[in-house]
Structure 1
Amino acid sequence: MNKYAVIITGAVMLLAGCDKPSPPSADNQAWMAEGKTMGTFYRVMLASPPADALVGLKEQISQVLEQDNHELSTYRQDSVLSRFNHYNGTAPQPISAAMADLIATALRIGAKTGGAMDITVGPLVNLWGFGPDKQPVLMPTQAQIDSARARVGLHHLRLTEEVSGQWLQKDLPDLYVDLSTLGEGYATDHLAALMERRGITRYLVSVGGAVISRGLSPQDKPWRVAIQKPTDREVDAQAVVDLQGHGISTSGSYRNYYELQGKRLSHIIDPATGRPIDHKLVSATVIATTAMEADGWDTGLMVLGTEKAKALAEQQGLAVYLITKTETGFETWMSPQFRPFIIQATDTQPEKR
């Protein structure tokens, strides 16, 4: 592992913290735990944690992540989401308050992106081989795409929240919901909430590409995260940011892909076309008050492409950083709201005002 850049995902890198997983140090100055969850990796890094706060912490971290997996996994047949997807009816189904909050966020962002971020896109994700199903041997036909698209749309989903509980309802029995676009941020926020409950005020937690931090690092400096250049080199930083207690998430089209019949296919599916995106925007990073909020917006912006993503970021006042492929390399753009977080940037174009 590189001494100065600890990889969080193929999109963001942590630049301050421990060099390797370790138990609590003698003076409790630094502590880290990491592992696998949701088909990706999680990491919890603490600075000067209270000694009593560490008792049973690893077990509680595992419990939080296990609960989130139990709710959101599309790979587990017994998860809350899988049971909803497999339910062949239209009656409201009970869900937790936390899951209702996630779905409410997804519906709100989906509406603001004009359906570009759509949690019902699962049939298309599966058709193109990026879900629980295997990758196709042949390119899906237009008839197959049209058939899958007929089962996609946020208007088919209804969330009801009352004092007595929360329910999720679909008007198509075979509607398939995939919450992976916000799942990493959802779990990251839950880990952050666990730290707060344990009285831990200096931490950085991440699940996959979603990160959130509070306080200072073990070196008494701001936790710094780097946005990776869209290349195969995992330690090339495009920009470095100080999260200032916010969440960050990056969506990119340059890592999760496969080639079929000579064509490179991204895992990001455009619900409007039913096909993987093929425009020049290769990375979208969002900073927001929560990791889940950032995780929801980055996918929608990636689907929209550079110009529409810029326009929406300006309209909604989002802190956004985009990387677009050009004939000569890459071009970057940041919204005015993103600039205060920047510590260092490379080849950044001035934002529109």
Structure 2
Amino acid sequence: MKWGKYTTIVGLTFLLFISIITFSSYNQLNTIKSTLLHMQEAVQSNVSENTNESAEDTEEKNSISNHVENNVDGNGNRSIDNSIENNIDSNGENEIDNNIKNNIEVNVDVSISNNIKNNVKSNEQENSSTDSEKSSSSNNNSNKNSENQNNNDEKKNEKQQNFPELVWGVDSASVTTEEMCACVEENFGTPSVWGRYLGTKEDVSKGISKEEAQLIHNKGAKVLLIFNHFTEAIGYEKGKTEANEAIRLAENLGVPEDVAIFADIEPSYPVDSAFINGWYDVISASPYKPGIYGIFDSEKALVTAFNAAAKNNENIKKNTYIWTAAPNIGVTTEANAPEYKPESPEGSLTAGWQYGIDAKACNIDTNLFKGEILKVLW
């Protein structure tokens, strides 16, 4: 009995020892499993991050480096999946370095899968076409800049010239052609100034083109630019809006700097000083010079509005070119032009007088201008 008692105690002790070992191993395996799960999440997160950062769309040299290291030490089944995908849309040189290092020290089965995929797309042919277009655009801009530079040089030379006291000219809402030039020369004279409109206004006037301007220049005349795309001249913002549109049209034609643009304020249009202030502020801040056309009869609303605008800004009277249609004494030939006696606001920069309108032949009006206006004409 005594020996049996000892045997029982030893057996129970052994069972207790085995239980402790088993429980400890179980906890260790759970710890390793948890560690591996966290590691797998970290690896997947790292791979996902590398995938996003490796997607490039650039024309410069690309250098991509992906490094993934897995350190596993423990007991149990292991499954590790490393996936790297690099998507590159590039025209430049690419360098890709994918490095995966797995350090495994376990006493069980391990399954490892490393997948690397590089997708590289080149747009060299497409970019070749784009570069060609850029080159063409660059050449066009270069030619345009050269043309504008030549025009500006001509304007500078004109400023140094001695102009005649007065010059005769015409203006017309019709397109200038060889036939029209011949009509004017045969019936009226040889104009030094030819007034034409910026942009077409439906059923009112045809806009001038570059080719037409060149024809006028070839005939020895300068172009006086008229802007008439409004029917009321009310409000400061309205004045600014119309001025910006006039500038846009002039720039599209390649009109050089320091050329005057005349706002056409017809006698039937309502007008106030705010419009004139807006027109002046925008045009005077641009490469161009502000001008106004209208019937500057002392009893007209235009004169009242102009004087009020000049009171708000004294530079308006000094720097705005006035082309007045008052008084109207009728169309004449160049040889029979009247004595220069225009009506305009006192102290204003009066540059021209449209003394006769609606000629029966050639669809023109006749004008006299101070010779110095030639320096602000195109």
The answer to whether TM tops 0.5 is no
What's the TM-score once normalised by structure 2's chain length?
A: 0.19
| Structure exhibiting the larger radius of gyration computed from Cα positions | 2
Point out the structure with the larger helix share: 2
Q: Which is bigger in relative contact order (C-alpha 8 A, separation at least 6)?
A: 1
What's the TM-score once normalised by structure 1's chain length?
A: 0.20
